[in-house]
Amino acid sequence: MNRRKTSVVEAVCSRYCSYYKPDREEDTACEGFKFFQRLISQTPAILAALRPKQNPSFKDRYHHVLYHALCKSCDFLIDGCDFTDPDYTGDPLPCGGYIAADLLLEQSMIDESQLAETLISEQGYVSLKDDCVLRHLESPCLYDITNDELYELDQKGFGFLTECNGSRQLAELPLDKDFLETCLKDGLLVVGTRKDSRHFKVRPSPIPSLRYLELQLTSRCNLKCGHCYLGEPTKKDLPLASVLSVLEEFEQMQGLRVLFSGGEPLMYPDLRVLNEALPRYEVRKLLLTNGTMISRKNQADWGLFDEIQFSLDGLREGHERIRGAGTFDAVMDGIDAVREKGIPISIATMVHRHNLEEFETLAKWVGDQGFLEWGIDVPCIAGRLLENLDFLPTPAEAAPFLRYATGGSYHGADEPFACGYHLCTVTPEGAVVKCGFFDKPLGSLEDGLEASWKRIRPVPLSDLECASCSHLLECKGGCRFRSKSLLGKDPVMCALYGVL
């Protein structure tokens, strides 16, 4: 046994390893053992730091760093390591090399750049996960498109991630082991073979940042829903060239999430071409549909969206009362088709007079389906609802049902401003408006999305009539269209919080 091997056995295996057998010579060494052989050859003085454990309990503080550094390439992992074997029913410990490396990380007994070089030397190219993007909003951020998660970053973390483009090794980068552990734990970084250098489209966004964009692709619709705020459908379509252009501009503006709506977007003439183009854009693509036209046969029209939201306004009776006969089964078939494709599904429900008695049963069904979220709202008095006011519940009737909503994807206010602070809508005519309810344009796509967005005037919460309300920071003033004036009270939110 050579001296270096003896040193590792004495300093690591005999002190830390539950699997060490002093009277047995092993044919294969674990990756933890190999790591310390390399480390001791570079830094012999590290042996002095490896003292007997004071506390016999083990805390796995850097699991993801050490998994990528040691376990992932270890012969014993391939063979079925007890520490990671899901069928193991005991209380396994990792190898001694893993425990000793964790101790060095926790107590900062080794220079971090040397640690990275020694731990991950050959296949240690680090890259941001493909479906994660860097954005510079009001502050630097990372956005996970697939999981719809936004992470705020400090300048040091942001600088580190901008270097994670797949062409540089971890040992070349300024390493913060705690930040690296968090990124690996959340699946934001990948450590492996070299990749082509990735270009991050990062620049400071406008203030306020435009994070959520609704594109009303078409005014066409196959239904005549009794509550539709748009009124009678027409045949106006947003040109495909304009859609692709505005997606590019939105991405450059550091946008996060695009909501493709209508009318009914399944009636958009160029939907299939648009669907094929979606992977080019590093934003989350969400299709808002009434669900009646989605089928297994037309997957080429919707199969590349990141999420599909179905309108479901009750059980069969409540839904068809407002949407029309036969629509409930069509929506259920559409949900099945999208679920088979593996695309996440969300549900949007409008509270109306004829579905109030169905909510308990509907809530149980929604809860059993595993949907991404359940958005619930109350109709605004506009469009076709002006002719169907019998659908409209009173604020007191409707408000309790808003609490059934689940999920956190909300495009409303951001303290200290009222709703729409990070959102705008593009109509089928190419007008840029505050949201779909407001018909006064900020500008048009001919002016440019960014130029139009910069004309927006956010509404401070302090300017609202209800500015002194103790619930203001929770409700954010509610919907500005539903209130009787731009600065007025939203009666539904007032009812929800019991301040009518």
pLDDT in tens, 412-468: 556 789 888 999 999 999 999 988 787 788 999 999 999 999 998 899 999 999 999
Split at pLDDT 50, 70, 90, the class of 75 is confident
Q: What percent of the chain stands above pLDDT 70?
A: 91
pTM of the model: 0.89
Q: How far apart are CA 293 and CA 221, in angstroms?
A: 10
Asked if residues 190 and 126 have their Cβ atoms less than 8 Å apart, the reply is yes
Tell me what the mean pLDDT of segment 242-263 comes to. Answer: 97
36 vs 240, higher pLDDT? 240
Half-sphere exposure of 218 (CA within 13 A, CB side): 19
Alpha carbon of residue 358 to chain centroid: 31
Q: How far apart are CA 168 and CA 177, in angstroms?
A: 17
Asked if residues 11 and 36 have their Cβ atoms less than 8 Å apart, the reply is yes
Split at pLDDT 50, 70, 90, the class of 73 is confident
Residue whose entry in the numeric block shows the structure tokens 């839904």: 319
Tell me what the mean pLDDT of segment 339-368 comes to. Answer: 96
- Starting at the edge strand that comes first in sequence, how are the strands of the sheet with 374-377 ordered? 374-377, 345-350, 307-311, 284-289, 257-261, 212-216, 423-426, 431-433, 441-444
Q: How far apart are CA 490 and CA 349, in angstroms?
A: 19
Split at pLDDT 50, 70, 90, the class of 219 is very high
pLDDT tens sequence across 369-399: 999 999 999 998 888 888 989 999 999 999 9
Helix (H) or strand (E) holding 240: helix 240-252
Tell me what the mean pLDDT of segment 298-316 comes to. Answer: 98
Nearest CA among 377, 380, 460, 379 for reference residue 418: 460
Q: How far apart are CA 206 and CA 166, in angstroms?
A: 29
Lowest mean per-residue pLDDT among 8-12, 207-211, 246-250, 426-430: 8-12
In angstroms, the Cα distances linking 292 to 107, 149, 317, 325 are 59, 29, 16, 11
Nearest CA among 412, 421, 417, 413 for reference residue 462: 417
